[in-house]
Structure 1
Amino acid sequence: MAGRHHSSASKYLRSRLLLFTLSLLALTLLFYTFSPSPTVPRTIHATLNPNVDYSFVSSLEKFLINSKSHPTLSDDTVTATITQQDVEKLDDLISRKQTQRLDDNSFYPLSSPIRVYVYNMPSKFTYDLLWLFRNTYKETNNLTSNGSPVHRLIEQHSVDYWLWADLIAPESQRLLKNVVRVHKQEEADLFYIPFFTTISFFLLEKQQCKALYREALKWVTDQPAWKRSEGRDHILPVHHPWSFKSVRKFMKNAIWLLPDMDSTGNWYKPGQVYLEKDLILPYVPNVDLCDSKCFSDSKRNILIFFRGRLKRNAGGKIRSKLMTELSSAEDVVIEEGSAGEAGKAAAQSGMRKSIFCLSPAGDTPSSARLFDAIVSGCIPVVISDELELPFEGILDYRKIALFVYSSDALQPGWLLTFLRSVSPAQIREMQLNIAKHSRHFLYSHPAQPMGPEDLVWRMVCYSYLLFI
C-alpha cells in the first residue's frame, strides 16, 4: 500500500508484486498481439433476466424496503478520535495480513478475490440520500440550467448505487466472485466510500450540499485507514463531473470512479485525475435493451441518427456544426431533444431504426449517448478527440464503434461519404458484436458476471496491483 506509514514488510510486498505485475502485463500484451481474433457467435444476444432488476428506480425501491428488515452487520469502522498509534497499529496489521497471503500464495492477489471494506458511514451520507431520491423523483420536474431533468441525470450517474448495493448484499445472494466484502479493516485490500455525491449535489440546497461535503470529507479523512495510506487505497465514486467539486482536491489520492478524464481541464483540475489511478465507468443507459427479438424486428432504414442537445460547451460545440453539415441529407435524422420521458421514447425509437448513431462530445468528452446506442443495437460513431472509454483494458471498442476525428467530421461531405462506404458485411459484423457486448453496459441487481460492476472490479484490481 502506498502511504507514509510503510513497514519493511509492506515494502517487501510491494517489490514482489510490482515485479510480478510487470511480468503479467508483458505476457498479456504478447497474448493480445499474436492471438487470432475470435469468431463472433451468430446467435449471442444480451437478454434481460426476469429475476434481475435493471431499473434504478425499481431496484432502489426493493433495496430500501429490504434494508429495514436486514440488520446492520457489525464492523470496525472508527467513530472515536484516533491517535497516531492507532494509524501505525492498523498499518502493521494490514501489512502482516498481505505478506502472509503472498507467502502462502505467490499469485496473490490475482488468484484471490479482491477484498473490499465498505465504510459504515452515518445514514445522512447514504440511506437518507437514497430515500430523498425515492420520495421526490415522481413529484418533481426540476431541470438543470441546460434543461436536463434532474432525476434522470441522477439515474444516469447512479453507478455509486449499483456498486454499493452489490457489495453490501448478503454473500449468498451475490453472483460476482472476483470481489468480496470484509468486515475487518486489517483484511482489506481496498476501502469503499459509500457517499452519494450526485444525489446530494442535485437534491440539496447549495449551502446544505457544501456543508455535507465538508462533513463527509472530515469523516473519511479521520479514519485510520485513510491516514495510513493518504487515501490511495480508497475508492470514491464521483461519476457526475459537477459533484463533490468543492472538496475533492483534498481526496485527490483516492481511486475516483469517473465518466471520463476530461483532459481539457474544464471539470477536473490538473493532477486530480489520471488513468494510472482512476477508473472510467459507463453511464447508465437511458433506453431499454434491444434484445434478440428487437434485433430481428428492427428495420434500420435511417443511415445516421442523433437526438439531443445541440448547444454544448467545450468539445461539445461540434454538435451544432454537425447539424449544419448533415441536416439537409437524406436518410439522416438530426433532432434537438431533451431527456424527459417523451425524449427517451423518441431517442429509443430513432436509435432502433438507425444503422449509425452519432456520439459527439458533450460538455465533457464523453456522452451517455454512446451507451444508449450500444444497447439499442446502433453502431456508435464517436466524434470526440479527448475521449477515454470504460474498460479499455478489457474491451476492444473497434469491434462495436467507429471513431472519427472532429476535423474530419466537419469537412463538407466527408462523414456521409465515409459512412456510406462501410460495407453491409462490416455493418452486420459490428451489429453482431454489439449484441454480444451490450451486457457489459447493463447495470443490475444482483450484479451479473461480465456486467459493468464485474468489469469495474477487474479494472480496480489492475489499478490496485500497480499502486500497491
Structure 2
Amino acid sequence: MAGKPKEKHFTHLSIPKPQLLFTLLFFFLWLISHLIFYTSSSAPSNAALFPAEDKKCDPDIAPLYIVPLPSRFNSDLLVQCNNLSPYTDMCPHVAHRGLGQPLSPSSTSWYATHQFIAELIFHARVENHPCRTQDPSTAQLFLLPFYAGLYGSSQFSQTNLTLRDSLALDFASLLPFLPTWPRRLGRDHFLVIGRTSWDFMRPPPSTPDFGANLLLLLPETQNISVLTVERIPWIPHNHYAIPYPSYFHPSTATEVAAWRASVLAHPRTHLFAFVGGPRPPNLEKAAARASILRQCAASPTRCITVECRPDDPSTCHDPNRVLTVMRRAEFCMQPPGDSFSRRSVFDAVLAGCIPVFFSEHTAYTQYLWYAPARPEEWSVFLGPDRSDRIEEELDRIPKPSVARMRERVVEMIPRMTYAHPNASWRELGFRDAVDVALIELTKIVRGNVLQV
C-alpha cells in the first residue's frame, strides 16, 4: 500500500519500474556527490548569508572590502588570548566576536564587554554588513583587520623594543605590497584600534616608557585612516575617535526604542554620580578625581558613587552596578582617566545620564562624528574655576533644560552603540557606531570633506 501513491505519482513520466529505481539511485548519488564537493571545496562566505537581491547597502556608505591579511595579524592573536594583557585574562572578553560574556544566560543584547575591544566588534560587524563586497575592484573602502590594540597590550611589559615593535613593523612592511594599495596609496584603507593613539606613538627615549609601540609613527601608516577610541587632539591628520564599546549590543530597532523609553522614564533620585577611583596625587589628572570624591562624600544625599578601589577593582567592572547607579543620577561626572577619554562617557549616555566634563579633550575634541556640534545640548563643562562647587553649579541649571539635555543624550544612544554583529540589516533599523564611522569614511574617500 505504501508504494502505490509513488507509482501513481510517476505514472505520467512513463518510466518502467527498473528504470525508475535506477534513475532515483543515480539522482541520489549525483546529489550526494555535489553536496560533498561544495561543502568541502569552499566554506560559505558571509556575503552569502543573505540573498543578493535582499541586501540593501546604505547609499551614504561606500562599498567596502575586508583585506585578507595573514592570520598572525588577527585570529592567531585570539588563540593566545590569555597573553593579550598583562592585567587580565582576555579569553572571556574576546568571546562572542568581542562582545564578551552575556550578562545572563538568556541575554542576546547585553554583554560584559571589555572597554578595549572595539577592533574585534567592528571587524565582526563589517563581515555581515550589507555594504560589504567580495570584489575589491568595486570597493571604495578597505578595512585592514589587524588587531593592533590586542597585540599592543600583549607587549606592554616587553622591555626589548625590537620585539615590542616586531608585528607593527611586519604589518607596515606588508601594506605597499597589498593588491588593493596602489590605487590610492592607502588613502582608501582604514584600521580600527580598540585602544588610544598614545599606545602606538612611543615618545622619545628621554621620556618615560609606558609600553607603547611605533605603529602610528611609521611612514606606511600615514595615509590610512586610523579609528581609535581616543586620538591625540593636536595630531589630527588621519586619526578619528570612535566610541568605547558599552554593554548594549541590540539586534533590532525595537530593542533600542524600548531601552530609550525605559531610560527616559527611570526616576532620578540623585543629582550627580561618579563611577571611578582616585589617582596617585603626583599624576596631573589626579586633582579632578580627588575633588569629585571629596564633594560626593560631603553630600551623600545628592551624590551616588561606585568607587574603584585597588583592593577591589572588579567593583567598577560590574555592568549591572554601573548602569544602576548611573540611571539613578541626573548628571554623571567624567574627569579624565589614565588618558583624556573614558569608557564611562558611553556608559553614561547609555544610562541617559548627562555627562559633566572637566577637560575638553575627554569628548569635545574626540568624538566629532558622534556628538552634537553644540556641547551644551548634551553635556556640562566645569572648568577649573567651577569644578570645586559641582552641586551648586548643577543646581543652577533649570529643570526644563535638564529634561531637554537628557532627551538629547538618549537620542544619541543608537549612534554610540555597537549593534550585535549577527544582527540582520533588515531588522536593525538604525545606524550604529560602525555605520556612522563608515559614513564619515565614505565622505573622506569620495572627497566630500577636507581632511584637517
Q: TM-score scaled by structure 2?
A: 0.64
Contact 2:275 2:305 in 1 (8 A): yes
After superposition, residues 64-75 of structure 1 pair within 5 angstroms as: 70-71=43-44
Question: Is the counterpart of residue 337 in structure 1 residue 308 in structure 2?
Answer: yes
Contact 1:239 1:258 in 2 (8 A): yes
Question: Is the counterpart of residue 390 in structure 1 residue 361 in structure 2?
Answer: no
Which digits, 9 at most, give the CA deviation of each residue in 1:206-236, with x for residues without a partner?
Answer: 3665322222222223325435544322201
After superposition, residues 110-125 of structure 1 pair within 5 angstroms as: 113-125=61-73
Contact 2:65 2:133 in 1 (8 A): yes
Superposition deviation, residue 327 in structure 1: 3.0
After superposition, residues 8-19 of structure 1 pair within 5 angstroms as: none
Q: 1:277 to 1:431 in 2, by over 3 A?
A: same
Contact 2:276 2:316 in 1 (8 A): no
Superposition deviation, residue 307 in structure 1: 1.6
Contact 2:118 2:193 in 1 (8 A): no
Q: 1:190 to 1:371 in 2, by over 3 A?
A: same
Which digits, 9 at most, give the CA deviation of each residue in 1:362-418, with x for residues without a partner?
Answer: 2222211111001011111122133424244774464763231431333x43x3222
Relative contact order, higher structure (CA 8 A, sep 6+): 1
Superposition deviation, residue 429 in structure 1: 2.3
Aligned length: 340
Which digits, 9 at most, give the CA deviation of each residue in 1:11-41, with x for residues without a partner?
Answer: xxxxxxxxxxxxxxxxxxxxxxxxxxxxxxx
Contact 2:306 2:322 in 1 (8 A): no
2:127 counterpart (149, 165, 168): 168
Superposition deviation, residue 127 in structure 1: 1.8
Contact 2:65 2:142 in 1 (8 A): yes
Contact 1:259 1:282 in 2 (8 A): yes
Which residue of structure 2 lines up, in the alignment, with residue 279 of structure 1? 240
Which digits, 9 at most, give the CA deviation of each residue in 1:223-275, with x for residues without a partner?
Answer: 25435544322201223125443232111222110223333xxxxxx7xx41x
Which residue of structure 1 lines up, in the alignment, with residue 279 of structure 2? 311
Question: Is the counterpart of residue 246 in structure 1 residue 207 in structure 2?
Answer: no
Name the amino acid aligned to 1:352.
Answer: R
2:116 counterpart (157, 161, 167): 157
Which residue of structure 2 lines up, in the alignment, with residue 30 of structure 1? none
Which residue of structure 2 lines up, in the alignment, with residue 180 of structure 1? 132
Which residue of structure 1 lines up, in the alignment, with residue 399 of structure 2? 424
Which residue of structure 2 lines up, in the alignment, with residue 143 of structure 1? 87
Which residue of structure 2 lines up, in the alignment, with residue 404 of structure 1? 381
Name the amino acid aligned to 2:342.
Answer: S
Question: Is the counterpart of residue 198 in structure 1 residue 149 in structure 2?
Answer: yes
Q: TM-score scaled by structure 1?
A: 0.62
| Identical counterparts, % of pairs | 18
In structure 2, C-alpha distance between the alignment counterparts of 1:118 and 1:129, rounded to whole Å: 18
Report the 3-state secondary structure (helix = DSSP H, G, I; strand = E; otherwise coil) of the residue aligned with 2:298: coil
Contact 2:240 2:366 in 1 (8 A): no
Report the 3-state secondary structure (helix = DSSP H, G, I; strand = E; otherwise coil) of the residue aligned with 2:268: coil
Which residue of structure 2 lines up, in the alignment, with residue 323 of structure 1? 293
Question: Is the counterpart of residue 354 in structure 1 residue 329 in structure 2?
Answer: yes
Unmatched runs of 5 consecutive residues or more in structure 2: 1-40, 48-57, 95-99, 101-111, 201-212, 250-255
Question: Is the counterpart of residue 259 in structure 1 residue 229 in structure 2?
Answer: yes
2:173 counterpart (206, 212, 218): 218
Superposition deviation, residue 159 in structure 1: 2.2
Which digits, 9 at most, give the CA deviation of each residue in 1:287-343, with x for residues without a partner?
Answer: 798925643763321111002132175446422233334431241134431663664
Report the 3-state secondary structure (helix = DSSP H, G, I; strand = E; otherwise coil) of the residue aligned with 1:323: helix
In structure 2, C-alpha distance between the alignment counterparts of 1:360 and 1:305, rounded to whole Å: 12
Report the 3-state secondary structure (helix = DSSP H, G, I; strand = E; otherwise coil) of the residue aligned with 1:406: coil
2:140 counterpart (146, 166, 189): 189
Superposition deviation, residue 73 in structure 1: 8.6
Q: 1:116 to 1:297 in 2, by over 3 A?
A: closer
Q: 1:227 to 1:451 in 2, by over 3 A?
A: same
Name the amino acid aligned to 1:235.
Answer: F
In structure 1, C-alpha distance between the alignment counterparts of 2:327 and 2:44, rounded to whole Å: 44
Superposition deviation, residue 286 in structure 1: 4.7
Contact 1:115 1:187 in 2 (8 A): yes
In structure 1, C-alpha distance between the alignment counterparts of 2:164 and 2:60, rounded to whole Å: 39
Which digits, 9 at most, give the CA deviation of each residue in 1:79-100, with x for residues without a partner?
Answer: xxxxxxxxxxxxxxxxxxxxxx
Bigger Rg, structure 1 or 2? 2
Query: In angstroms, what is the RMSD of aligned CA positions?
Result: 3.7
Q: 1:324 to 1:246 in 2, by over 3 A?
A: same
In structure 1, C-alpha distance between the alignment counterparts of 2:368 and 2:121, rounded to whole Å: 17
Superposition deviation, residue 280 in structure 1: 1.2
In structure 2, C-alpha distance between the alignment counterparts of 1:429 and 1:73, rounded to whole Å: 42
Name the amino acid aligned to 1:371.
Answer: F
Moved more, 241-250 or 345-354: 241-250
In structure 2, C-alpha distance between the alignment counterparts of 1:306 and 1:117, rounded to whole Å: 41
Unmatched runs of 5 consecutive residues or more in structure 1: 1-67, 75-109, 264-269
In structure 1, C-alpha distance between the alignment counterparts of 2:226 and 2:338, rounded to whole Å: 19
Which digits, 9 at most, give the CA deviation of each residue in 1:25-58, with x for residues without a partner?
Answer: xxxxxxxxxxxxxxxxxxxxxxxxxxxxxxxxxx
Superposition deviation, residue 347 in structure 1: 1.9
